[in-house]
Amino acid sequence: MTLMDKIDYSMDKILEVKNLRTSFFTDAGELKAVDDVSFNVYSGKTLGIVGESGCGKSVTSLSLMRLIPSPSGKIIGGEILYKGRNLLELKPHEMRSIRGNEISMIFQEPMTSLNPVFTVGYQIREVIGLHQDLSRKEVHDQAIEMLKLVGIPSPEKRIHDYPHHLSGGMRQRVMIAMALSCNPQILIADEPTTALDVTIQAQILELLKELQQKVGMALILITHDLGVVAEIADEVAVMYAGRVVEQGLVRDIFSRPQMPYTQGLLNSIPVLSRHSSGRVKKRLEAIPGIVPNMLSLPEGCRFQDRCSYAIDLCKEREPDLRIVASQSGIPHFIRCARDI
Amino acid sequence: MLFYIIRKIISTIPTIFGVALIVFILFNLVGGDPTYQMVGRHANAQQIEELRHEYGFDQPKYIQFSHYLKQIVTFDYGRSYATKQPINQMILNGIGPSLSLMLPSFFVTTILAVSTALLVAYFRGRAIDKICVIISVFGMSISMLAYILFGQYFFAYKMGWFPISGYETTWPECFQYIALPMIIFIIVSLGYDVRFYRTAILEEVNQDYVRTARAKGLSESAILFKHVLKNSMIPIITNVVIEIPLLILGAFLLESFFGIPGLGSITIDAVHNSDFPVIKAMTTLVAILYVIGNLATDILYTFVDPRVSLK
User: Is B51 contained in some domain?
Assistant: no
pLDDT tens digits along B31-90:
666 666 666 667 777 777 777 777 777 778 888 888 888 888 888 888 887 788 888 888
Q: Which of A127, A125, A79 is nearest to A102 (CA)?
A: A127
Q: Torsions phi, psi of A333, nearest 5?
A: -100, 140
Residue B35 lies in a domain: no
Chain A interface, mutation test: which of B209, B224, B225, B231, most A Cβ atoms within 10 Å? B209
Minimum-distance CB partner of B306 among A65, A117, A126: A117
Burial of A255 (0-12, 13-18, 19+ CB in 10 A): exposed
Cβ distance of B208 and A164 shorter than 8 Å: no
Rounded to the nearest angstrom, the minimum Cα separation between A115 and chain B is 5
For chain B, give the percent of residues with pLDDT over 70: 94
Q: Chain B partners of A115 at a C-beta cutoff of 8 Å?
A: 209, 212-213, 227, 230-231
Residue B194 lies in a domain: yes
pLDDT digits (tens, 9 = 90+) for A292-318: 888 888 888 999 888 888 888 888 888
Does any domain span residue B76?
no
Residue contact B215–A98, C-beta within 8 A: no
Domain housing B290? 87-310
Distance between CA A110 and CA A192 in Å, rounded? 8
**What's the total number of domains in chain B?**
1
Name the band, by pLDDT with cuts 50, 70 and 90, for residue A4.
Answer: very low
Task: For residue B172, say if its preceding peptide bond is cis, omega within 30 degrees of 0.
Answer: yes
SS (HEC) of chain B: CHHHHHHHHHHHHHHHHHHHHHHHHHHHHHCCCCHHHHHCCCCCHHHHHHHHHHHCCCCCHHHHHHHHHHHHHHCCCCECCCCCCEHHHHHHHHHHHHHHHHHHHHHHHHHHHHHHHHHHHHCCCCHHHHHHHHHHHHHHHCCHHHHHHHHHHHHHHHCCCCCCCCCCCCCCHHHHHHHHHHHHHHHHHHHHHHHHHHHHHHHHHCCHHHHHHHHCCCCHHHHHHHHHHHHHHHHHHHHHHHCHHHHHHCCHHHHHHCCCCCHHHHHHHHHHCCCHHHHHHHHHHHHHHHHHHHHHHHHHHHHHCCCCCCC
Question: Which member of A97, A113, A162 has the closest CB to residue B306?
Answer: A162
Residue B258 lies in a domain: yes
Question: A115, A118, A126: which to substitute to probe chain B, counting the most B Cβ within 10 Å?
Answer: A115
Q: With an 8 Å Cβ cutoff, are A96 and B218 in contact?
A: yes
A128: closest chain B residue by CA: B216
CB B67 within 8 A of CB B77: no
In the predicted structure, residue A5 carries a pLDDT above the cut 70 = no
- Interface pTM, i.e. ipTM: 0.87
Specify the pLDDT at position A316: 87
Q: Is residue B233 part of a domain?
A: yes
Residue A200 confidence (pLDDT): 85
Chains A, B: CB contacts within 8 A come to 72
Of A71, A97, A175, the CB nearest to B217: A97
Q: Is the four-CA dihedral B304, A104, A158, A132 of positive or negative sign?
A: positive
Residue B165 inside a domain? The answer is yes
pLDDT tier for residue B165 given thresholds of 50, 70 and 90: confident
Distance from CA of B220 to the nearest CA of A (A): 10
Residue A223, φ and ψ in degrees, nearest 5: -160, 160
Amino acid at B110: T
* Chain B residues close to A178, C-beta within 8 Å: 212, 216
Closest CA to B180 of B254, B103, B256, B266: B254
B-chain residues near A96 (CB < 8 A) = 217-219
Q: Does B77 map to a domain? A: no
Nearest by CB to residue B211, choosing from A93, A107, A130, is A107
Nearest residue, CB atoms, A130 vs list B209, B214, B216: B216
We report the CATH number of the domain holding residue B185 as 1.10.3720.10
**Stretch among A93-102, A133-142, A163-172, B148-157 having the lowest mean pLDDT:** B148-157
- Tell me: cis bond preceding A92? Omega within 30 of 0 counts: no
Please give the residue of chain A at the shortest CA–CA distance from B205: A69
User: By the 8 A CB rule, do A51 and A287 touch?
Assistant: no
